[in-house]
Amino acid sequence: MTAPPPVAPRPPRRVDKTFYAMLLPVVLLFTLFITVPAVVGMFYSITNYVGYGDWEFVGLTNYIAIFSDPRILSSYGFTLGFSVVTVIVVNVVALALALGLSAKIKLKTALRGVFFIPMVISGIVIAYVFNYLFSTSLPTIAARLGIESLESSILADERFAWIAVVIVTAWQAIPGAMIIYLAGLLAIPGEVYEAASIDGARPWRQFRSITLPLMLGYVVINTILGFKGFLNAYDIIVGLTNGGPGTSTFSVAMTIFTGFTSGDYAYQMANAVLFFVITVLISVMQLRLIQRRGVSL
């Protein structure tokens, strides 16, 4: 039996020069505006640089001081707690709206357009509008109805100001999450629900046994994207409470930015580096959780 003829090796695949022509500007811009500033910031985080003038190396002094700074620790506590609560609110409401807007109802297309409006409005504009509602409209209505607990603005109450931030942030973030859930619901074959109905499964059982398991990947996507975005909350908080009352709603991003403009450049740059590390660790933990549960994205 004769041996099969040897297979000739394939010639190396040549990459079109157009690919490099399109890739090179993107790489250069990313390096210039993202990588270089990040490296420079990490360098200044181990100095006493105030944003101008001379500087000296101080080692890890800035990083050590962060762990004993109550203002920074408070901002981390608020940011993490706010992010967790807002992620839960956004996902629950967005999934409920997606289920309603994917059902056989009248004016479904028009309603989808209405619910998408908050997504295209600037966060700072939304914050100023809700600031007026919480500070003027809501107390006036509460006074006329005799609801004493709401006669004063919740934005001025350290106990409840964070609730207003959650409400406004969720109001803007829900449409984006709802779009993802609508895409997931449309990807589920209708025959699955028809078979479940024939077997006597009621709507709640169908949601629990069919919809939710098949939508788990989309829930994970919204959770990761939402948590990442809420950790960087800034514009809505500035327009709504400006970090007040006191520092009760100061986010990490606000703390870093205000430090840059008040002479704490190196100190807040160390804070920014630490916050970056924490964000990466949280992202890695989320991805590991996805892999363990076998969710395909």
* The CATH number fitting domain 70-293, selected from 3.40.50.720, 1.10.3720.10, 1.10.530.10, 3.10.20.600: 1.10.3720.10
Q: What does the pLDDT read at residue 4?
A: 63
The pLDDT of residue 289 is above 60: yes
Per-residue pLDDT tens over the stretch 47-84? 998 888 888 999 899 999 999 999 999 999 999 999 99
For position 6, what pLDDT does the model report?
A: 64
Which pLDDT does position 15 carry in this prediction? 67
Please say whether the beta carbons of 154 and 184 come within 8 A: no
Residues 232 and 119 sit within 8 Å (Cβ to Cβ): no
| Residue 150, both tokens | 């709401």
Q: What is the pTM of this model?
A: 0.84
How far is residue 42 CA from its own chain's centroid?
24
pLDDT at residue 171 tops 90: yes
What span, in angstroms and rounded, lies between the C-alpha atoms of 46 and 50?
12
The pLDDT tens digits for 189-216 are 888 888 888 888 888 888 888 888 888 8
Contacts of 201 by beta carbon, 8 Å cutoff, 6+ apart? 209, 210
Average pLDDT, the chain: 86
Residue ranges per domain, the chain? 70-293
Check whether 297 has a pLDDT greater than 60.
Answer: no
